[in-house]
A and B are shown apart, each in its own frame.
Chain A
Amino acid sequence: MARPIEEIKWQDLEMGAAVSERGSAREYKTGSWRSLQPVVDQDQCIRCGVCWLFCPDAAIKRSEDGSFEADLEYCKGCGICARECPVGCISVVIEEV
């Protein structure tokens, strides 16, 4: 998106309120909703990917080396990853402000 969401006025909308840029919701960082934050213990992690599969916000990043990590720009802090992790290597900590 060329401009931040806040600067887009009604005159800029397309005919029929169409949105021609796909996946532009990425501009909106839902991470600001969070009060709890998942932290992955990389030593215990078995790289199975269950946290990635169960995240409703697709907010788990897969890195090149196969490890998984929360994407704090989008993570809403629901805690599903910590609950579903088969080895319990994800802990939920209170976000520091």
Chain B
Amino acid sequence: MDKFSVFSARLVEKDELFTSGHRACQGCAEALAVRLVMKALGRNTIVAMATGCMEIISSPLPTTAWQVPWIHVAFENSSAVISGCESGMKAMMRKGKLPAKKINFVAMGGDGATADIGMGQLSGAMERGHDMIYVCYDNEAYMNTGIQRSSATPWGASTTTSPAGKISKGQFTQKKDMPKIAIAHNIPYVATACPSFPFDLMEKVEKAAAIEGPAYLHILSVCPTGWRIPSEEAIKYGRLAVNTCVFPLYEYEYGKYNLTYRPHPILPVKEYIQGQGRFRHLTPEDIDSIQERTRTEYEKLLKLSEEG
């Protein structure tokens, strides 16, 4: 990858493949992530999308916000559908029924569709080695149906099915480490990204599209509605998640870890947690335990990236 690219907002692709007029909430960083991913992918793209916020807000009949071929499938099988598209078009190109050209096959899903419901199919698609990109938009709960917990919800977050109260501290399990599960499949490319770092995100998407074989992208998308924060702070909280190492940005390319952004200085986790309504009930001891866990996880990752 060229390390000397010029990063300027003015030089970013102007084409909007995810158009205005979609019905996302105000300040939805997930819609921003889709917009940036589509800018990086370009027009030669086919998208299969699992049920979730992005599907609901982008395609209320009779309109669609997409400028590329797009199909909505059930919660669990977006990766299965896109692997069928990929195999079918590859066969047609081989037989000369379609002109041979590079097409990006993209499956998209939220954290619920990826970490809970669609994990089996995603695992199968990655194991079969289809030339596809799976993009997971992680807003850390089932936001579309009203903030129910998913396995990607972090410890201590209050949701409508893990409410905080006298006995409960909210979500009582740790967040499922989905990128590590993807890495365990030995696929060529896995990366984590956040729309608060737009150039990093777009570079990773371009890399994932260029690589032959399955690629997995995990994008932390701040949800102002579900995280109980003001809409204008969506970008700020994404940045805080990265700078506190709660969500480190790294990539895994052909067996090698690479931290693409090293926060300096590393901010205390408290700064990320204290403004969010879903963590409002946490005591200083709880925050200390989150800090401790975040630190050990980040140190593990640093060690992995040093080993190469």
Contacts and interface: CB of A to CB of B under 8 A. Distances in A.
Nearest to B23: A30
Interface residues of A, number: 43
Interface stretch (B4-12, B94-102, B135-143, B147-155): B4-12
A28 B31 contact: no
Interface string B27-71: 111011001000000000000000000000011011111111000
Contact of A74 (B18, B21, B233, B236): B21
A58 B27 contact: no
A24 interface: yes
A8 B234 CA distance: 35
Given A19-B64, A24-B62, A82-B232, A56 B23 contact: no
Contact of B63 (A27, A71, A73, A74): A27
Interface string A9-48: 0001100010101111111111001000000000000011
A11 B52 CA distance: 27
Given A25-B21, A49-B10, A79-B232, A56 B29 contact: yes
Nearest to A83: B232
Given A53-B198, A59-B20, A25 B65 contact: yes
Contacts, number: 116
A22 B64 contact: yes
Interface in A49-91: 49-50, 52-59, 62, 71, 73-74, 76-80, 82-84
Nearest to B59: A19
Nearest to A9: B62
Chain B residues touching A, majority SS: loop
Nearest to B230: A79
B26 A23 contact: no
A57 B18 CA distance: 9
B22 interface: yes
Given A52-B9, A56-B32, A26 B20 contact: yes
A56 B31 CA distance: 5
A77 B62 contact: no
A58 B18 contact: yes
B16 A58 contact: yes
Contacts of B24: 56-57
A48 B64 contact: no
A83 B237 CA distance: 12
B198 A83 contact: no
Contact of A25 (B12, B14, B35, B58): B58
Contacts of A27: 21, 63
Interface of B: 8-10, 12, 14, 16, 18-24, 26-29, 31-32, 35, 58-59, 61-68, 195, 198, 224, 230-236
18 contacts: A13-B61, A23-B67, A24-B64, A28-B23, A29-B21, A30-B20, A30-B23, A48-B9, A52-B9, A53-B9, A54-B195, A56-B234, A58-B20, A59-B20, A76-B27, A78-B231, A83-B235, A83-B236
